[in-house]
Structure formats: structure tokens, C-alpha cells
Amino acid sequence: MVRCFTFILIVLITFANKQDLYGQSPFCDSITPHFIADLTGDPAGVYISPQVSRQGNCCGTSFPDRCVSFEVTLDSLAVGLHFGIASGAEPPGALYYQVDCGPQIPITEPICLTGGPHILTFCKPGANQNTYQITSIPGPVFPMEDTTRDGCTVDLEVTGFQENTITWTDITSPNQIYNQYLTCTSGCSQTTFIPDANAPAYVDYLVCGQIYGGVCSPAFPICDTVRVNVVNDLSVEITPNPAIFCPGASGVLLNSQIHGSDGNYTFFWRDSNGNLVGSDDTFLAPAPGIYTLEARDGFYPSCPPVFDTVIVHHHDPMTLSTQATPVSCFGYSDGSASVEVSGGTEPYAFIWNNDSNLSTDSIQNLQSGSYQVLVTDSFNCTVTATAVVQESSTPLTVSISSSNVSCFGEHDGQATVIASGGTAPYNFIWNGDSTMNAATATGLPAG
């Protein structure tokens, strides 16, 4: 059963291939060789047939003529075609072909033709083995609007023109000064646009030429305008630069400041060994060293990238020393705190207890408690310390005992004060007399 199926399949494929060569033309005998020449996708395309002998008749011809036919489909940008014999002995005498059984056309002449499919037939006595060539004639194709930047180039090309008739003319400046940006302005289908730092935002060029195609070509030049936009040059800078690796930090954040071009940026951060370590617009450098940033725009590789390099240094560590003055009495707000900084890089910024109003190296009018200071140096490295403002745990209290004078008018009375709470040692002054400064006052009169 399998063998039978295989045999039938082979027969069907062979028959189908034979039908590709013969009997497909609606204007020809079934024995006439017939080929498909599909030139869509290439307005300047060339089709060369397999080698074949002409057979049968087309378009009302009769023996001894023998014919070959082609189904031709042209690209939408094509305006005509050339037909000719590519190889093999050329039949003697005048040689003509027809399109859709229309008028006879000498094979040396191009014809205007668009679209398709069309049936092209060639008939001539003889059974020469020949290959045949069909060449599509492209219509004029102008460059699309393009964009570049200073220091880069844009290749501009037109097709479908007789090259020696092509001109490129600046129509943006009054004196055609931007013709200097083109490598060729006359007799060239290709030219290169190379702007300089003085280029305007865009330049328009009028492109003219006589198109190919013989009878398809008008007697006057065909023209169109092509615009080339010029954007600002690309630049990149790493900030901060130089950078400092703060002690105890996980890394130092490097930022890219990029300007100009088309905005389609890609980034490549590399270490001193050339290893790729990052691909974002920022990079957290994990250690001191040398780092290089390469920035590309949307014109890469036609336009070169730009670079910047930063050295990440070890940072001199900061150390803090705090001092505090206790409040004078329980519940008072007359304490103070201060900090001294060594190391790091001046100037320093201070914040106490996350209060932006406490932003100096010393603060006053404090209640008792702990005060944390955050110090930041000029490279944004930070360190913290704490100052403690003390006070007594209990308020100050006193009790007084006294002894009366022994007789009227005597000065032998005394008074004693006992202090508790507050913060020892205690100072005493009796009746505002600084000479009476002991806990017990003696030699007192009645009073």
C-alpha cells in the first residue's frame, strides 16, 4: 500500500512541474513553453528563463513559427520592461515580441508597462535552445526624509534616472551654500550628506533627472524634494566627577548627563579592565576605580558613540566628637550640644534630630535628652553621632531648722538648711550675703 501511494505521488509532482512549463498561457498552444516572471519586490529586477526550445504557436501565429510565453508581473514602482535573448543562437531576421497579443515590438525596444500579470510571447521559426531575459525598468524613486547629526553622514540615493542627468540642488539657503554638505551634486545617483557644526535644523535639496525607459521617459526632467534634518551633536558627562567612595557605603551612584541627538540613547558602563558592568543611564559603582561610560544614539553605527571617564576615589573617613551642657535645673530648657568634625571634605552640613531648623554645628536652648546629629560632607558621605543633655532626676527641695537666741538682743541664733534632689554639690547664700555660704548660718539675731 505504501509503495503504491509513493508511486502516485511522484507521478503527480512530475505532471505538475510539466504544467509549469507548458500549456499555461491563455494565448498559446498547450505545447508552448510557459514561464512565470514575477518581478514584484524589485522595480529594477531581472528575470532569466531556463534554456528551452520554442514550440507551438501563440496569438494566431502558425507554423513554421515556434513560440515561448511568459507571465510577467512588474513591481508597483516599475514603469516598463526590456525583453531579449540572453543566450543561445539568435534566430535570423527581425525579432519581435508581443504583450497580451498586442502590436509587435522589436526586441531591442523597451516598452511602457505597469503592474500585471501580462502575457509576453515571442515567436520565430526554428527550435534554437535559448534563455530569455526580462529586465524591469524602474520608475524614479527619491530618497525618504532622513535625519543625522554633526559629525555623521547620510547616504542619499535616487533610482530610475539616467545618471548623467541627475542634479542635487540646495533650496534652503539663498546662495545654495549647503551644496557643500554633499559629496556630489551633478551626474550621480548617490551622494553623501556631511553636515558641520553650523548646519541648520534641516536642509532641503531639489533632486532632478531624466528617467530611464525610452518611450516611458518624458522629455522633461522629473524633480522632487528631499529633506535632511540635522539634530544637535551628542555629548555625555558623568556626575559626580571625580566621585568619592564613602566608607561603609554599598557603592557610589554615577549619573549620566546626556544631551543632543535623537533621544534614542543606549549606555555601556565598563570598568578599568574593559568589562561591561552596567547598561542603564545610572550605575552604582561597587568599589573605587576607573569607570568609562559609552553612550550611543539612534544613528549608531553610522555615527560614532561618545565617552566619558570617572575616577572613584577612596574617601577620607569622617569622625565626630560631641559635647553637651546639662540643663541648669530640673525641667529647664537651657542645655546645649555641639559637634566637632575631622576628616571628610569641607564644607559640612549638619542636621540635628531630622530637624532642618537645627542645621549648625552647635545647638542651644535644649531640654534634657538625646540629640542625634547627621553630618554630610561635600561628597555626600555621611556619619552620625549622639549628644546627651543631662538633668537631675528629681527637683531640688530644701528643709530648714533653726535655734533661737539665748536672750533678748543676743546674736547667738542659728539656722540650718538640708538640700535634696537636684544635682549636688549645692551652693548656699543666706539673705543675699555671699559671705554666708555654708549650710548652717550662725551668730544670727532674732528675726
* Annotated domain spans of the chain: 34-138, 146-231, 235-314, 318-389, 397-444
CATH topology of domain 34-138: Immunoglobulin-like (2.60.40)
**The most confident of 298-302, 325-329, 347-351, 392-396, by mean pLDDT:** 347-351
**pTM, entire model:** 0.54
Highest mean pLDDT among 114-128, 319-333, 395-409: 114-128
Q: What confidence score (pLDDT) does residue 13 get?
A: 29
Q: What are phi and psi of 304, to 5 degrees?
A: -75, 155
The pLDDT value given to residue 21: 58
Q: What is the pLDDT of residue 432?
A: 65
Supply the pLDDT for residue 77.
85
Superfamily in which the 235-314 domain is placed by CATH:
Immunoglobulins (2.60.40.10)
Domains 34-138 and 146-231 in one fold: yes
**What pLDDT does 102 receive?**
95
Task: Record the cell numbers describing residue 142, joined without a space.
Answer: 527619491
pLDDT, averaged across the chain: 87
Identify residue 299 by its one-letter amino acid code.
F
Cα distances from 51 to residues 90, 94, 127, 439, in angstroms, run 13, 21, 12, 136
Mean pLDDT throughout 252-268?
A: 94
Mean pLDDT of 377-404: 82
Quickly state the pLDDT bin for 217 (edges 50, 70, 90): low
What's the confidence (pLDDT) of residue 438? 78
Check residue 1 and give its pLDDT: 31
Instruction: Give residue 2's pLDDT band: very low, low, confident or very high (50, 70, 90).
Output: very low
CATH number of the 146-231 domain: 2.60.40.10
Rounded to whole angstroms, the Cα distance separating 73 from 38 reads: 5
pLDDT at position 10: 29
Predicted pLDDT of residue 212: 67
How many percent of the chain have pLDDT more than 90? 60
Question: Which pLDDT band holds residue 4 (cuts at 50, 70, 90)?
Answer: very low
Which is more confidently placed, 301 or 19? 301
271 has pLDDT over 60: yes
CATH 3.40.50.2300 correct for 318-389: no
Looking at residue 221, what is its pLDDT? 82
Bigger pLDDT: 145 vs 20: 145
Looking only at Cα atoms, what is the longest distance across the chain? Answer: 175
C-alpha 422, offset from chain centre: 70
More confident residue, 2 or 52: 52
